[in-house]
Amino acid sequence: MDKLVIRGGNRLVGTIPISGAKNAALTLIPCALLTDEPVTLRNLPRLADIDGFQHLMTQFGVSVAIQGGRPEDFGRVVTYEATRLTSTVAPYDLVRKMRASILVLGPMLARAGEATVSMPGGCAIGNRPIDLHLKALEAFGAEIELAQGYVKAVAPGGRLPGGEFDFPVVSVGATENALMAAVLAKGTSKLFNAAREPEIVDLCNLLVAMGAEIEGIGTSDLVIHGVDRLHGATYRVMSDRIEAGSYACAAAITGGDVRLEGASAHDMASTIHALRNIGIEIDEDKNGINVRAPGPLKATNLTTAPYPGLATDMQAQLMALLCKAEGTSVLKETIFENRYMHVPELNRMGANIETEGRTAIVKGTDVLTGAEVMATDLRASMSLVIAGLAAEGETTVRRLYHLDRGYERLEEKLQLVGADIERVGDD
């Protein structure tokens, strides 16, 4: 198994291209199930999760055609064509590794009138039940049965009638599934207290490009007028706001000066606000953002929240940055209850972090030291890389399969701006 070896201390300077968003792409790919015409996605990141989802799509009879491109290029163009569905079952072996697999439930139900999907897996960062997915689909007229680790959903008469659902708490995945289910319903469906993340907007924009009728895009109240059929489309995946925020933290902790080409400042406003409070200078333009750390890092208090609040997917990376800040910072995690698994690993590198429930207290330190550390989930692994870039000596990060799920060729991008980092085979 590969590992990353980082020799810290280099100031990051230069340009990093930002890839297409993993969290958006995993929602856009299943849209191909909604039509018998080709759906082409541009700017699709080369990630293990994308490859896994594409394997799942072929299980249903979807053809996947990857257009030519140089191996050294970031991103690619992929066309999905579901001319005829050969299966409506998403088996355990394919679903267990990736929680996003549950997102085939809504579009499969809408297109085929039935779907059987294994209960999903993914990062072990806390309890992430799918009950809201199922309740929303039931509100739209689906009949749901749970048996032997599978969800079986049926649209009586072969097509959902539509309906209304008010989310008791904001859920990104459930909003996405409900949207894809509603676009082919017989009537009008309404979602209240829906998630507003940029990835939801990206999904709505693709669905509209395919012929869907959706009102309220970008708000918490969505009205979906069901149509008889959707057609194909070509669509560019939005840039990855979490990847951009991660590299911003990497630049900042090294006192660097980095341009994040393709990053959208609008989509990552809460992260930019947090970075500015820490003392980072950020300049925005229509093609990206510039990140510069002119002086000492300052402690701050942060609380994760649904969009437009601070993304939980940025918590670990900002925590790593605050390990080098002057003073004491307090972080509160409100989304997932088990998202501090990176804390013991950061403490092994000389950080001073204490946790109590969903609160973490970070006392800044002058020196981080290299160590052997182990990634526990996707964003936690990036926090260890960020700390390693600023640490004295050598840091070894193991379990890279977490990183490969969400960061396209991470070590190559960091090498572009001067990081001493390499991927090596385990002894």
- Going by the annotation, the residues of the binding site for UDP-N-acetyl-alpha-D-glucosamine are 99, 128-132, 313, 335
Q: List, as residue ranges, the binding site for phosphoenolpyruvate.
A: 22-23
> How many residues does the structure list for the chain?
427
CA distance linking residue 14 with residue 17, whole number of Å: 10
Q: How far apart (Å, rounded) are the C-alpha atoms in residues 365 and 353? A: 10
- Alpha carbon distance 324, 80 (integer Å): 45
> Rounded CA gap, 284 and 281, in Å?
10
Q: Which of 31, 123, 249, 323 is catalytic?
A: 123
DSSP element (H, E) containing 17: strand 13-17
323 counts as catalytic:
no
Q: How far apart are CA 2 and CA 251, in angstroms?
A: 24
Strands 394-398, 372-374: pairing is: parallel
Phi, psi of 58 (to 5 degrees): -65, -25
Residue with tokens 């790919």: 29
Using CB atoms within 10 A of its CB, is residue 274 exposed (0-12), middle (13-18) or buried (19+)?
Answer: buried
Binding residues: 22-23, 99, 128-132, 313, 335
Measured between alpha carbons, how far is 111 from 58 in angstroms, rounded to an integer?
16
Positions marked active-site: 123
